[in-house]
């Protein structure tokens, strides 16, 4: 009897050790995989932004694919990854017109395709109002073009981009399985799990790297924020109407900044003088009342020196009204900072 119990104990111990070994092996594998992935992101190609774009898309695809416990390896179709890249590039281009490649005169193929598509989209809609890819309404000819762009992006991924990226993190084989030219890649179950468990960290690293690369070819501010338009449908901290109480202090009669005429409530909008697409932020020193039809930023005229001088004068007058509040009111403080640092003119010069 005693002997039997000992055998049972030994068996139990062996099984237990087996489980511990297995789970620590999985843990080590996952850590290793994430480390290599982050290394590849850090060392990715910088002549274009295909690497951050496709890896961000990969994370998105993995997050959308459910696998239960004991699930199998994940086959990722590169065309579906490519379609997401087009979506990201569309949003970053239509709102911020970011350059995604080193040569301003010859942007990467996918960017040229997206820019062309946006032009054709504006024509088809007879409006230059920027719209997110997710909400865009493509007519059949444009839909067909879009499918061609997805194909082209898929080809670029499978023939070139994926292979060289995997090499940068020594990810080939047991971590991510892809042979150059193949339509899909295979993500082992534990690698997919590691992406899911660390998606926030991986995404942060990708955005950081993406913004860093964009800094090489874009001089506009807040690139880090612009990159994240992928995740943030609303880039505003607060509605523009928040600024009305400040504008009213200096312009109680609500005269249009552009034409000088008083504006009826139903025609009143708060406009950015220097385009929002450049600053990616709403700042009191750049906001004015205009008629709906006298709008600056969306498709209106680029502000001339005349309006810049007018804005500087307005800011000084508004600051005089807010004198004494700079320390207690954040908007007043930012206005004072903008006036003393000459931000209107500096940004106007840079954004041309
Ligand atoms: Zn007007």
Measured in Å, residue 289 CA sits from the centre of ligand 1 at 9
Within this chain, do residues 220 and 294 fall inside the same structural domain, yes or no? no
* Domain ranges, residue 314: 240-350
Within this chain, do residues 76 and 159 fall inside the same structural domain, yes or no? yes
Per-residue pLDDT for 257 more than 80? Answer: yes
In a domain, 6, yes or no: no
Per-residue pLDDT for 297 more than 80? Answer: no
Within this chain, do residues 158 and 48 fall inside the same structural domain, yes or no? yes
Per-residue pLDDT for 5 more than 80? Answer: no
Domain stop point among 177, 196, 230: 230
Measured in Å, residue 305 CA sits from the centre of ligand 1 at 18
Within this chain, do residues 195 and 246 fall inside the same structural domain, yes or no? no
How many domains, in total, are found in the chain?
A: 2
Within this chain, do residues 70 and 176 fall inside the same structural domain, yes or no? yes
In a domain, 39, yes or no: yes
pLDDT tens column, 211-243: 999 999 998 899 999 998 878 766 677 889 999
Measured in Å, residue 309 CA sits from the centre of ligand 1 at 17
In a domain, 7, yes or no: no
Within this chain, do residues 159 and 48 fall inside the same structural domain, yes or no? yes
Indicate the pLDDT class of residue 247, thresholds 50, 70 and 90: very high
Domain stop point among 230, 252, 269: 230
Within this chain, do residues 309 and 327 fall inside the same structural domain, yes or no? yes
Measured in Å, residue 290 CA sits from the centre of ligand 1 at 5
Measured in Å, residue 307 CA sits from the centre of ligand 1 at 13
Measured in Å, residue 237 CA sits from the centre of ligand 1 at 27
Task: Determine the pLDDT at residue 277.
Answer: 85
Within this chain, do residues 72 and 175 fall inside the same structural domain, yes or no? yes
Indicate the pLDDT class of residue 23, thresholds 50, 70 and 90: confident
Domain stop point among 181, 199, 230: 230
Per-residue pLDDT for 42 more than 90? Answer: yes
Return mean pLDDT, the chain. Answer: 91
In a domain, 50, yes or no: yes
In a domain, 144, yes or no: yes
Mean pLDDT of 27-54: 96
**Three-state secondary structure of the chain:** CHHHHHHHHHHHHHHHHHHHHHHHHHHHHHHHHHHHHHHHHHCCCCCECHHHHHHHHHHHHHHHCCCCCCCCCEEEEHHHHHHHHHHHHHHHHHHHCCCCECCCCCCCHHHHHHHHHHHHHHHHHCCCCCCCHHHCCCCHHHHHHHHHHHHHHHHHHHHHHHHHHHHHCCCECCCEECCCCCCEEEECHHHHHHHHHCHHHHHHHHHHHHHHHHHHHCCCCCHHHHHHHHCCCCCCCCCHHHHHHHHHHHCCCCECCCCCCECCHHHEEEEECCCHHHHCCCCHHHEEEEEHHHCCCCCCCCCCHHHHHHHHHHHHHHHHHCCCCCCCCHHHHHHHHHHHCCHHHHHHHHCC
Per-residue pLDDT for 163 more than 70? Answer: yes
Per-residue pLDDT for 1 more than 60? Answer: no
Per-residue pLDDT for 3 more than 80? Answer: no
Within this chain, do residues 50 and 194 fall inside the same structural domain, yes or no? yes
Measured in Å, residue 275 CA sits from the centre of ligand 1 at 17
Within this chain, do residues 288 and 318 fall inside the same structural domain, yes or no? yes
Within this chain, do residues 38 and 175 fall inside the same structural domain, yes or no? yes
In a domain, 142, yes or no: yes
Residues with CB under 5 A from ligand 1 (ion): 256, 258-259, 291, 294
pLDDT tens column, 315-337: 999 999 998 898 899 999 999 99
Within this chain, do residues 36 and 171 fall inside the same structural domain, yes or no? yes
Task: Determine the pLDDT at residue 280.
Answer: 86
Measured in Å, residue 269 CA sits from the centre of ligand 1 at 10
């Amino acid at each position: 009897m005693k002997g039997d119990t000992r055998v049972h104990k030994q068996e139990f111990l062996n099984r237990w050790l087996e489980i511990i070994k297995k789970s620590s092996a999985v843990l080590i594998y996952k850590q290793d995989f994430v480390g290599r992935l982050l290394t590849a992101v850090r060392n990715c190609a910088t002549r274009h932004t295909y690497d951050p774009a496709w890896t961000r898309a990969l994370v998105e695809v993995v997050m959308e694919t459910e696998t239960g416990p004991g699930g199998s390896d994940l086959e990722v179709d590169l065309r579906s990854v490519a379609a997401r890249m087009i979506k990201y590039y569309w949003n970053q281009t239509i709102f911020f017109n970011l350059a995604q490649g080193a040569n301003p005169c010859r942007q990467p193929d996918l960017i040229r395709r997206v820019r062309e598509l946006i032009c054709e989209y504006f024509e088809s809609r007879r409006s230059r109002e920027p719209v997110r890819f997710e909400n865009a309404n493509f007519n059949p000819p444009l839909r067909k073009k879009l499918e061609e762009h997805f194909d082209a992006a898929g080809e670029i991924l499978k023939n070139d981009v994926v292979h060289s990226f995997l090499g940068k993190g020594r990810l080939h084989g047991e971590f991510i399985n892809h042979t150059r030219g193949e339509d899909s890649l295979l993500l082992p179950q534990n690698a997919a799990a590691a992406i899911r468990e660390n998606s926030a960290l991986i995404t942060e690293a990708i955005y950081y790297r993406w913004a860093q690369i964009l800094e090489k070819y874009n001089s506009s501010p807040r690139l880090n924020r612009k990159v994240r338009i992928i995740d943030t449908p609303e880039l505003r901290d607060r509605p523009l109407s928040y600024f009305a109480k400040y504008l009213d202090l200096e312009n109680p009669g609500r005269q249009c900044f552009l034409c000088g005429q008083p504006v009826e409530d139903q025609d009143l909008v708060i406009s950015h003088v220097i385009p929002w697409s450049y600053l990616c932020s709403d700042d009191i020193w750049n906001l004015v009342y205009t008629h709906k039809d006298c709008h600056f930023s969306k498709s209106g005229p680029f502000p001339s020196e005349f309006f810049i001088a007018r804005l500087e004068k307005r800011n000084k007058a508004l600051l005089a009204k807010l004198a004494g509040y700079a320390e207690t009111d954040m908007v007043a403080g930012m206005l004072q900072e903008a006036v003393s640092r000459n931000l209107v003119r500096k940004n106007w010069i840079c954004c041309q």
